[in-house]
Amino acid sequence: MTTVPLIRKLTQLRGKMSERRRKRGLIREILSLQIMMTVVVGALAIASLYWGGQWVLQDNYSRWALQWTSELNELGAPLYLSDDSEVVLRLESFVDRYPEISRVSYYRADGSMMHSIDKQSDLAPSKKLSSSRIDEAAERVGNAEPYVIESSIANPRKFFILAPVWTESIKGDGLFGFDPTSGSVETTVELAGFVGLNLDFVLFHDRLVGNIKIAILALLILLAASALYGRHILRKALTSITDLQEPLSQLAKGNLEVEFKAAEHHEISEIVEALESTATALHERNARLLKLANHDVLTGLFNRRRLVEELKIELGRVSEGDRTSALLFIDLDQFKYVNDTCGHPAGDRLIRKVASQLRQSIGEAGLVARFGGDEFVVLLPDTSQRSTKELARGLLEDMRRLAHIEEDRVFHIHCSIGITMIDDIGIDQDELVAQADIACREAKAAGRNRLQFFSRSQTDVVKLAADVGWMTKLRTALDQNLFELRFQPIVCISTGTTTHHEVLLRLREPNGKLVSPDAFLPAAVRFGLMSEIDTWMIRNASQAYALHSADNPRLRLSVNLSANAFETEDLASYVASCFKECAVPPHHVIFEITESLAVRHLRYVERQIAALRKMGCELALDDFGTGYSSFSYLQRLAVDYIKIDGSFIRDLVNNPVDQKMVRMIGEIGREAGMKTIAEYVQSADALVLLGDLGIDMAQGYYIGRPAVRPLLKSMPIPLNSRRVSRSTGSFTA
């Protein structure tokens, strides 16, 4: 059974490692880029040096070759002084003095070889000039630059200079009448031949190229040294970035105690300071969130969630060793009286005072938590039943002596304590709380202001098992989404049209049976699951609106919320997120809150009602009329609807007192600008009478039973055709 998850984890780990290998390292990439840039720059520098040197050499060789053209007159002497042997000897000695001259060739006028002076034995002589060369050189006769220079790009150090040699004489043989300054003197030009000069600057070229190679080698050495040194400097500079890798990895894993190394560069130093500030802020935020998650906002005591965790830990310790512990469930006896007479701020002050007294009385002996409202729980680890009883008696005495002064009135606070010993290994934390709660209720039933140990009578065991069973079912229903919604119509009495639908919760059991909330909500409240049920209701009601509003554009829904929903600060934001996700118009949703909840948690309810109304939602006060302070609190609650408690409607036709009460509620609702809704309307007579009593809307099995889909339909209501008769009188509709 464990092989598949293990293989899946190994596959995920292998994938992460492969992904990490595929990602490039920043430091390695920067260093590689630095080497690449050094290589490119070095190659460009060497190429520039080499080709630049070649260009300079070729330019210098060309200039040098041009200088030799001035010597062509002397070199061409053998062509017109052919009988002067000394001329040839002088030329040979002249050629020997210049190493760049490789050959001097003499050609007749027809281009055939006449004579050559060679300094390179491997240089094959040219027996005859080509016709193109002869023509090109002959055209140079008499020009200011009477020569042709040939060179090769492939071999720029070699040049061939070809020049014509000619004789020029004055035409005619008379000596008289000759005027050399006269422009009309005619001359005769006779081409004697051609002189060719082969130049090879190989000696100078080899020396210069050798020097260039030495310069390139020196440049390569300098580039390599600078690259290595630059790499060292760059690696040292990037070390501060590398040092951030491991702390950042630890920070990403949630380790906020990570330490960062000090950086030398101010940019990295600022990043390190920002990361340290972020880690500190996250640590402080986590500490605040942890405190909020584990502590009650009003008293600072541990909350229910933290208590459950501590109970789990203590159960593990009890199962490991021979020890017993105890759990005390404490409920104040006169708290509601203080709340109703002096207001909820006074109740909050009383709760804080009681919490302080409990902390002082328990001290280091145990853990104190606020379970909810005026209920507290104390966990006493590693104690005996006798010690627990003595401590509980001391708590009762301390609470009896505790006096709370409010508005010149003195309240003496008593409490009832239920105790269960933790010595059974097979029990869980929910059963322990249920046992202590049962014992506390027994103490209240026995007269309050006393303590009671839990006893495992058959009745208690059955009740506890039922509560724990419901808790398991509810937990499963929440995890597996086993709840279902039903929609019951609410109609306008005067027109018979459906105004909106109340969204009702049902639980589908494994046998297919639907269970109403009356059966499981008490257990949900006892085991702290109401907040999750509220969240489920808001989310699924929003989804239901998105599903059914396409067919019913006028669809409006009424959703019930518990006390837990209004005790949180994020109710409005959660509602807004669900509405946005499902495109629910807020003015198409009504939230219902019971009168007892509104009165008991007035401060929270007022704030949350204001936030919901600001969004556009409407509010309804459910079960109105059951509390003795209903009318005094009605003006403080900005609600849009008053839902009259069903106890006034069930026997409305036969009970004049209920009729007067309903009529009064209707009148108060009209004066306050609130619409009234009557629940549990079971007959046409009751519906007709409600219209006569001034009630606006009706809900009940006569109007319509809860259905899987909300249906918008009208029902005929002949208000003026019925007469309701009673033995004590009659009511005409």
What is the secondary structure of 349-360 as a DSSP string? Answer: HHHHHHHHHHHH
CB-based contacts of 725, cutoff 8 Å, min separation 6: none
Listed as own residue / partner, the contacts of 356-360 with beta carbons closer than 8 Å and 24 or more positions apart are: 357/398, 357/399, 357/402, 358/301, 358/330, 358/395, 359/301, 360/398
Q: Which residue has the higher pLDDT, 542 or 67?
A: 542
pLDDT tens digits for 311-341? Answer: 888 888 888 877 889 999 998 876 766 766 6
Q: Determine the pLDDT at residue 417.
A: 93
Residues of the chain with CATH 3.30.450.20: 22-170+185-242
Which distant-in-sequence residues (6+ apart) come within 8 Å of 198 by Cβ?
A: 101, 102, 103, 104, 105, 123, 158, 159, 160
Q: What is residue 728's predicted lDDT score, i.e. its pLDDT?
A: 34
CA separation, residue 97 to residues 93, 100, 157, 509 (Å): 7, 9, 19, 122
Q: Which CATH class is domain 485-732?
A: alpha beta
Query: Strand 375-380 to strand 367-372: parallel, antiparallel, or no bridges (unpaired)?
Result: antiparallel
Q: Is 449 left (phi over 0), alpha (psi -120 to 50) or beta?
A: left
Q: Distance between CA atoms of 694 and 691, rounded to whole angstroms? A: 5
In this model, does residue 683 exceed pLDDT 70?
yes
Higher pLDDT, 59 or 578: 578
Tokens of 270: 């600022």
In this prediction, what percent of the chain has a pLDDT beyond 70?
Answer: 72
Q: Which of 6-20, 95-109, 266-280, 301-315 has the highest mean pLDDT?
A: 301-315
User: For all residues of the chain together, what is the average pLDDT?
Assistant: 78
Q: Which two tokens stand for residue 303?
A: 């909350």
Q: Is 112 helix (H, G, I), strand (E, B) or coil?
A: strand
Those residues whose C-beta lies under 8 Å from the C-beta of residue 618, and which sit 6 or more positions away, are 587, 589, 590, 591, 640, 641
- d(Cα 644, Cα 95) in Å, to the nearest integer? 134
- Residues 504/510/511/517 CA torsion (nearest 10 deg): -20
> pLDDT-derived band of residue 87, with 50, 70 and 90 as boundaries?
low
CATH number of the structural domain 302-456? 3.30.70.270
In the chain, list all ranges with CATH 3.30.70.270. 302-456
C-alpha separations of 88 from 69, 79, 109 in Å:
19, 10, 19
pLDDT given for residue 253 in this prediction: 67
Whether the Cβ atoms of residue 261 and residue 249 lie closer than 8 Å to each other: no
Rounded to 10 deg, the angle between the 266-294 and 245-252 helix axes is: 20
Q: What is the pLDDT of residues 213-236, one digit of tens each?
A: 787 788 788 878 877 877 777 777
Q: Residue 510 class from Cβ within 10 Å (0-12 exposed, 13-18 middle, 19+ buried)?
A: exposed
Cα distances from 306 to residues 293, 301, 429, 534, in angstroms, run 8, 10, 12, 21
Round to whole Å and give the CA distance between 439 and 326.
13
Give the least confident one: 131-145, 297-311, 355-369. 131-145
Task: Give pLDDT tens digits for 582-623.
Answer: 999 999 999 998 766 655 556 667 788 888 999 999 999 888
CA distance linking residue 117 with residue 151, whole number of Å: 20
3-state secondary structure 669-729: HHHHCCEEEECCCCCHHHHHHHHHCCCCEECCCCCCCCECCCCCCCCCCCHHHCEEEECCE
Write the DSSP symbol of residue 262: P
Q: Which residues contact 662 (CB under 8 A, 6 or more apart)?
A: 644, 648, 649, 652, 678, 690, 693, 695
Of 660, 617, 619, nearest to 643 by C-alpha is 619
The residue-averaged pLDDT of 702-706 equals: 91
Confidence of residue 668 (pLDDT cuts 50, 70, 90): confident
For residue range 390-415, list pLDDT tens digits in order: 999 999 988 888 878 877 677 777 88
Query: What does the pLDDT read at residue 15?
Result: 57
Nearest-angstrom CA–CA distance, 169 and 157: 39
CATH number belonging to domain 22-170+185-242: 3.30.450.20
